[in-house]
Amino acid sequence: MISKSIRNILFDLDGTLIDSAPDIINCIEQVYFNVLDKKIILSPSIIGPPLKEIIDSITPTIKNKKKDILIKEFRLYYDKSGYPKTKLYPGILNLFNKIKGIGLNIFIITNKPSKSTKKILKKLGIIDYCKDIATPDTLMGINMDKNKMLNHIINKWDLDKNKSILISDSYDDIIIAQKNLLPSAIVLYGYNNNKNIYKPSSNPPVYFLKCVKEISDLLGV
């Protein structure tokens, strides 16, 4: 269990709180077929980075114009899909109830756009648990990466880093937390699949969690 002084939990979304891979993969595969007449088969390990980076990893030589079309078509197709297969990981709703029950603050930072993020959180019944949500398009005219989102939340709410923790399935997020001197925890059940093994320093601490119950145990809720 971490210090009971922790008041703020900043969660990543995909691969940490929700399993959205089936819907995202289906939409990407369908859009590639519709736009490029290209059949592709993807694995959940692609989930996490911004969509542009995902497309670059699938088709490294794609032209920017085609990439922009894929992104536009994906957004339309994804939002119209209704996210039928996206679900909370088992135990997340109970975890949120416990966190809110003892008065801790829940924040979400995600590479999803605001529109789809809020629609999914509403559908899954957890949007009202969130004190704030940061997405790439939270600030008008600024495209924020995860580092900027993290700092936006910290600065907006004047968070004490010693009383906050970032929880994510992405090692890239853990590195960002380390650079910002923020304690963090990586969940091993998400999409990272240990593809980027990172051995962080012990200050600030990093915790490795195998399941949602271990998040609860870490937070002491």
Determine, yes or no, domain membership for 3. Answer: no
Q: pLDDT tens-digit profile of 133-186?
A: 999 999 988 999 999 999 999 999 999 999 999 999 998 899 999 999 999 999
Determine, yes or no, domain membership for 116. Answer: yes
Determine, yes or no, domain membership for 151. Answer: yes
Co-location of 92 and 27 in the same domain: no
What is d(CA 9, CA 11) in angstroms, rounded to the nearest whole number?
6
Q: Is 194 helix (H, G, I), strand (E, B) or coil?
A: coil
Task: List the CATH number of the domain containing 174.
Answer: 3.40.50.1000
Determine, yes or no, domain membership for 194. Answer: yes
Task: List the CATH number of the domain containing 64.
Answer: 1.10.150
Co-location of 136 and 92 in the same domain: yes
Co-location of 68 and 151 in the same domain: no
Cα angle 6, 221, 181; round to 5: 25
Number of folded domains in the chain?
2
Go through 180-204 and write b for each residue having 16 or more CB atoms within 10 A of its CB, e for each that does not.
bebbbbbbebbbbeeeeeeebeeeb
Q: pLDDT tens-digit profile of 2-52?
A: 667 899 999 999 999 999 999 999 999 999 999 999 999 998 888 888 899
Co-location of 68 and 137 in the same domain: no
Co-location of 150 and 211 in the same domain: yes
Place of tokens 């490029």: 36
| Tally of residues, the chain | 221
Cα dihedral across residues 69, 71, 76, 77: positive or negative:
positive
Q: pLDDT tens-digit profile of 80-130?
A: 999 999 999 999 999 999 999 999 999 999 999 999 999 999 999 999 999
Co-location of 91 and 63 in the same domain: no
- Cβ neighbors of 51 (< 8 A, separation 6 or more) are 71, 74, 111
Q: Of 55, 81, 107, at which residue does a domain stop?
A: 81
What is d(CA 152, CA 40) in angstroms, rounded to the nearest whole number?
36
User: Residue 208: which domain range?
Assistant: 8-19+87-219
Determine, yes or no, domain membership for 1. Answer: no
